Chains A and B, each alone.
Chain A
Amino acid sequence: MKYVRLVLANLGRHKWRTFLTTAGIALALFLFASLRTVVTTIAATAQWGGARRLVTLNATGIVFPLPLNYAERLRAIPGVTGVTWANWFGGRYGDNKRFFGQFAVDAESYLAMYPEMSVPDDQREAFFREKGSAIVGRRLLDVFGWKVGQDVTIQGTIFPGDWTFTVRGVYTPTDKVLNDDMMIFRHDFFDEKIGRAGIAGWYVVQIDDPDHAGRIAKAIDDLFRNSSSPTKTGTEQAFNASFATMWGNVSLLMGTIGLAVVFAILMVTANAMMMSSRERTREVAVLKSIGFPDRVLFGVVMAEAAVITLIGAAVGLGVAKVLYQAANFNAAGFLPGFSVTTGTLVLGAGIALLLMLASGLVPAIQAARQPIIVALRRVE
């Protein structure tokens, strides 16, 4: 502790160098944390799913619909405690610069299936009452400046025409992984307007016991195997996991960039430590002549490396954690619940430690091993 002054004094010898190196480390770790959070966020969405919810799709592909009359037959399957359905609408709003998901849903059963979408009771009632109403995610109010009670017009793409809904409710996700920027409207309104025989995009089936998932999924698929629209059923989590792979090999990309970032900052830090050590030889000799043992010199140099790397890391990781939280960042809806995890922070700290060792070890050993006489003779 009493050597603290020595450590700080050495860092203060070249204040700019210390500052720039620390700032560089902070930037690098901020970047690392951001990149890793993309990976962890996608992984979190890949794991999300109600333990007691199954998703039933048309086996031919997600773009193929399912008949509405499947609902009755699904309810009849033993172990099924609830059924709802939805349809992907995919319309454009305004200049279409900000994408958000729109779904036609079977109002009552859908909200019952997803308690994670928290809607105030009075708004829920309004939604059930009014056919042309819609419930929107809380974030959409901020993004578009919508207010409850106003009309919103969407241009249909798959289902052409202008579709106008009245915003009657706002949902708040209780789980941050769930998107807070979707819009749901009523399936009966949808059916009426398209005029066609009832179709559903997919069904969500609630089951009594998560352990029965496999058995019930098979039962559903067996039931419809020989019909015109055979089904493929799986847990909601499996469905989400499959979706997450659509990004491509994101973790490889982010990991590679992250590696490059760490290496680059290692160059900067090692260089700074190396330059300091070159300038320090005389002082090391004087201290040794006074009687400072080698291990103290080793410790002082390592402590210098530690101060730079640990403070830089703390700033970089801290800013990442706080910034994304405060800004409620979700990459325009693509990365819901974007927040730096504890795992990322721990990994970042590990990297800081690695930086400290990699940049400080050689100069520290050099200082410890430096023979006094050589240094003295060099100057005199």
Chain B
Amino acid sequence: MALVEIRDVHKSFQRGSEKIDVFAGLTLDVPQGSFTALMGPSGSGKSTLLNLVAGLDRPTSGSITVAGAPVSSMSPGQLAPWRARHVGFVFQQLNLLPVLTAYQNVELPLLLTRLSRKERDERVRLALDVVGLSDRIKHFPRQLSGGQEQRTAIARAIVADPTVVMLDEPTGQLDARSSQDVLALLRRLNQEFGKTILLVTHDAHAAATASTILHLDKGVLVEREKAAVS
């Protein structure tokens, strides 16, 4: 069984008087421990798909199962704790709460657990160490560079040891150098720590970091690429 099973998913939006169909019956699997990139032009539905898998949105029809949980049919009240346990999400920008330090931002998912203060502290420090920001613990987001912000967001995404890490265009706002750092980190998370990663991007270079590239166009899976072994 794959970690993520997407079966015949339809999703449509109402924009004004128009009805827009993003997916018309999408089916695909994401295996455990894989590093999958979702590529496609703007409007192809890749971000939407990510949101559906994370339980942030609900498909019009079809089913999505993540680690055995029927995400597409769970209620918001059930999805919240499920997400806390199983998903680490990184947006393109504005991930962090500006009023909290890097440490406090990373700690956020752990506040939803029953861990003691000491246990939380251990994990936060570990996560920040993994992303290479141990010396920026007490900084506020406005004191961090774009790349450092994204790495902090990644630290937050992994601190609770989620089942799958999902990133929506994480390097979209970064310069080449920072992008490199972030992508290298992701590769390490996948290869060294075995994290399942789902990455949405329109940047071919970023996608190349992944082991599998899925191409979406107008809501349809057009190609499945296995990346060259690096």
Contact = CB atoms under 8 A, between A and B. Distances in A.
B81 A291 contact: yes
Given A10-B99, A12-B99, A373-B57, A290 B108 contact: yes
Given A282-B94, A290-B156, A9 B104 contact: yes
A292 to B, nearest CB: 6
B89 A290 contact: yes
Interface string A279-308: 000110011111111101000000000000
A379 B91 CA distance: 11
A329 interface: no
A2 interface: yes
Contacts of A376: 51, 56, 91
B112 A373 contact: no
B84 A291 contact: yes
Contacts of A290: 83-84, 89, 108-109, 112, 156
B84 A3 contact: no
A294 B94 CA distance: 20
B111 A2 contact: yes
A277 to B, nearest CB: 14
A291 B112 contact: yes
A289 B89 contact: yes
B80 A293 contact: yes
Given A3-B111, A379-B94, A289 B84 contact: no
A13 B108 contact: no
A6 B104 CA distance: 9
Contacts of B96: 286
Contacts of B93: 379-380
Interface in B87-141: 87, 89, 91-100, 104, 108-109, 111-112, 117
Contacts of A13: 98-99
A372 interface: yes
A286 B141 CA distance: 15
A94 to B, nearest CB: 61
B27 to A, nearest CB: 23
A5 interface: yes
Contacts of B83: 289-291
A291 B87 contact: yes
A2 B117 CA distance: 9
B94 A5 contact: no
Contacts of A10: 99
Nearest to B111: A2
Nearest to A282: B94
B76 interface: yes
B16 interface: no
B97 A5 contact: no
A379 B56 CA distance: 15
B10 interface: no
A9 B141 CA distance: 13
Interface string A1-33: 011011001101100000000000000000000
